[in-house]
Amino acid sequence: MPIVAIALAVIFSILAWFVSPTWLFIILTVLTVTVAVVSLVFSLKSSKKLLSIIAIGVAGLMIFVSIGGLIFQISQNSSASTSSSKTSKVADKDDDDKKMMTAIQNQTQKVIALTSTITLTKMLNLTGMNLNSRS
C-alpha cells in the first residue's frame, strides 16, 4: 500500500504540471497522503512502518510539487492572455497607422493640387493670360 501511495502521488503531481484542472490533481495528491497515513496506521506493528513513513514524506513533498504545477499553469495562462492583448494592441496600432497614412496621403494630394493650381495661375498671369479678366 505505501508503494501505491508513492506512485499515485508522483503521477498526480506530474499531471498537475501539464493537465488543465490542476486543482483536481492537488486534491488527489492530498488523498494519497491520506492513504499513506492510513497505511502507516495499519503497519505500526509490522516491518513496513519505515516504508509507510517514507510514503508520507514523498506524498507530502508531491503536494508542494503539485502546487508548483498550479503556479506554472497560472503563469502560462496569464502569459497567453498578455500576449493576446499585445497582439490586439499591435493590430489596433496597425489600423491607426493605416488611417494616419491615408489621412496624410489625402492631405498631400490636396496640397499638390492646390500648389499646382497656384503655380499654373502664376504662370498664366506672367504670360499675360489672366483667367479672371477673360470674361
In angstroms and rounded to an integer, the radius of gyration of the C-alpha atoms of the chain is 38
Q: Mean pLDDT, the chain, as a whole number?
A: 78
Domain coverage including residue 120: 2-134
Give 25-63 as a DSSP string. HHHHHHHHHHHHHHHHHHTTTSTTHHHHHHHHHHHHHHH
In terms of Cα–Cα distance, which of 2, 32, 3 is closest to 15? Answer: 32
pLDDT in tens, 87-102: 666 666 777 788 888 8
Q: How far apart are CA 4 and CA 68, in angstroms?
A: 22
Question: To the nearest whole percent, how much of the chain has pLDDT over 70?
Answer: 80
Q: Whose grid coordinates read 505505501?
A: 2
Res 82 pLDDT > 80 = no
In terms of Cα–Cα distance, which of 69, 71, 80 is closest to 15? Answer: 69
What total number of domains does the chain contain? Answer: 1
